[in-house]
Structure 1
Amino acid sequence: MAPVAWCFRLLKQRFTSQQPEILYHRDLKPGRTCPILSTITLGQREARVTSTIIILALIAAFLGLRLYSALGKHGSDPEVAPRPDEQPRTAPVTAPAAQPQETPRLRSVTPVAGSVYEPAAEIGIRAVLAADRSFDVSRFLHGAQAAYRMILEAYWKGDKNALRELCDADSFEAFAEEIDARAARGETLDNRLVTIDRAIITDASVNNGIARLTVRFDADIAAITRDGEGRIIAGSMTDAVATHDVWSFVRSIGSRDPNWLLDETDAG
């Protein structure tokens, strides 16, 4: 048997399930091996060494990554200890801009004495303010001037319905009697309120839940009285007469009606 064929038979026995048989060849001397088997054995050894190296390299890489993740980058940069004489730097603290303090809003209810009310009426006005928190002295005085004009015009025209809405019972009766007397005489009034020069509160008080304010009106009125035939019997449309009236207005503090009613009239 040739040496090569003998080696192939030996390989077949190694890689199959056949029972190994003792093979001898005359050309093989004791102590010599099959050249093919020697080559295969050397290749297997080299493959095992290479696999071992690859496995060790992978283990080393894995351990290196774990160590890097555990220590982080700070391990490569040692912390520098601060100098004893060096003060730690802190960011400058900037104080917040001071917000302008909002002045408490006070109700415009107590103007300077002398412009809207006389000094003698201040105590009474404070009493009205304490009793009625919705009271506004400037708004009241503006409404009083409007009422002054409407009441005079209603009286001059003889409009009792309008007067009833603006006056209390006593004041209405007084105006109504004058209107009836004038109509009985056959007279009419052709008057006109030219201007209100000044309106000022002269007195104020609160009694039994009723607020009462007195206002002095300084006005210019052009007054003419005509007879039943329309002839002028008194007054002049070209000459306005300066008049001074003192009127008092009342209102129930507990009432939902914000309107003030004329309570009393007097010549100033």
Structure 2
Amino acid sequence: MNSEIIQVLVLAAIALFLVLRLRSVLGTRSGFEKPDGAPTAGPARPVPGKSATYDVLEGGDADIAAHAEPGSVAADALRAMKAVEPGFNVSEFIGGARQAYEMIVTGFEQGDISGISRLLSPEVLGGFEDAIAQRKAAGLSVEANFVGVRSARLVAAAFDTRTSQAELTLELVGELFVVVRNDAGEVVEGDPNQPRQQTDLFTFERTLGQSDPNWVLVATGE
């Protein structure tokens, strides 16, 4: 086996390793073909001119009940959050998280996170920067086009009453076109003609009762 063949095999192994490394930073991916005529899910938007309302049914908060099982740890945490910050609304938070998710995933895949750094904790930002640097060092480039968020649901909530620190974890499912190419322009992952479905667990954190309304991404998983 001559040296050129060995070099090609080594480069292919490095590319495969980096593709797997990127999958560990953002969640699981699988091919997905949208049925003809199926609508693309978009971010929830507030209705202009209407303020947030909180319907109470049988002594409970309908906003909480829509996203957490009554009597669950998550429901209790959400209720404690609203006690500290009455204007907090779970549905509105999820709507904002959908928009943030699209920005974060697109920025990471395209290798430009300068516009989303304020949404990331130092640890998450560092992990993204490391993965992007490794990708560039291997001569890999990514073409990404986000189609939409197919679903977003609350899977966990926690609240520290001493510090007023709130944590909310969402399962987010996105649909996007992603193609990874090597420095020769060859496709090593993805299909330019078929979108894929990607599932991520994003944990957002914020200290309630403060003037800063921004939630920060502190952990990712799958």
- Short-chain TM bin: 0.5 to 0.7
Task: State whether structure 2 residue 214 is matched by structure 1 residue 259.
Answer: yes
TM-score, with length taken from structure 1: 0.56
Is it true that 1:147 corresponds to 2:100 in the alignment? yes
Indicate the structure with greater helix content: 1
Q: Which amino acid is the alignment partner of residue 106 of structure 2? A: E
SS in 2 for 1:229: coil
CA contact (8 A) 2:102 2:148 kept: no
* Cα-Cα RMSD: 2.0
Q: Secondary structure at the match of 2:124?
A: helix
1:238 and 2:196 aligned:
no
Equivalent pair of 2:64/2:79 in contact (CA under 8 Å): no
Length, aligned pairs only: 161
Deviations 1:30-76 (A, max 9, x none): xxxxxxxxxxxxxxxxxxxxxxxxxxxxxxxxxxxxxxxxxxxxxxx
Cα deviations by residue, 1:107-128 (Å, 9 ceiling, x for unpaired): 3674374x5x242432221121
Whole-angstrom distance in 1 between the partners of 2:118 and 2:183: 29
**Bigger relative contact order, structure 1 or 2 (CA pairs below 8 A, ≥6 apart):** 2
Answer whether contact 1:163 1:172 (CA < 8 A) is retained: no
Residue of structure 1 equivalent to 2:114: 161
User: Is 2:150 aligned against 1:226?
Assistant: no
Q: Do residues 128 (structure 1) and 81 (structure 2) align?
A: yes
One-letter amino acid of the counterpart of residue 109, structure 2? W
Residue 182 of structure 1 aligns to which amino acid in structure 2? Answer: R
Paired amino acid for 2:135:
R
The alignment partner of 1:223 has SS state of strand
Match of 1:176 among 108, 125, 129: 129
Determine the C-alpha separation between the residues in 1 that align with 2:116 and 2:87. 26
| SS of structure 2 residue aligned to 1:111 | helix
Structure 1 portions without partners, runs of 5+: 1-104
Distance 1:136 1:112, change over 3 A: closer
For normalisation by structure 2, the TM-score amounts to 0.66
Q: Of the two, which has the highest radius of gyration? A: 1
Residue 91 of structure 2 aligns with an amino acid whose one-letter code is S
Structure in which a larger fraction of residues adopt strand: 2
1:259 partner SS: coil
Q: Deviations over 1:5-45 (max 9, x none)?
A: xxxxxxxxxxxxxxxxxxxxxxxxxxxxxxxxxxxxxxxxx
Match of 2:45 in 1: none
Contact 2:120/2:217 (8 A) holds in 1: yes
Percent identity at matched positions?
Answer: 26
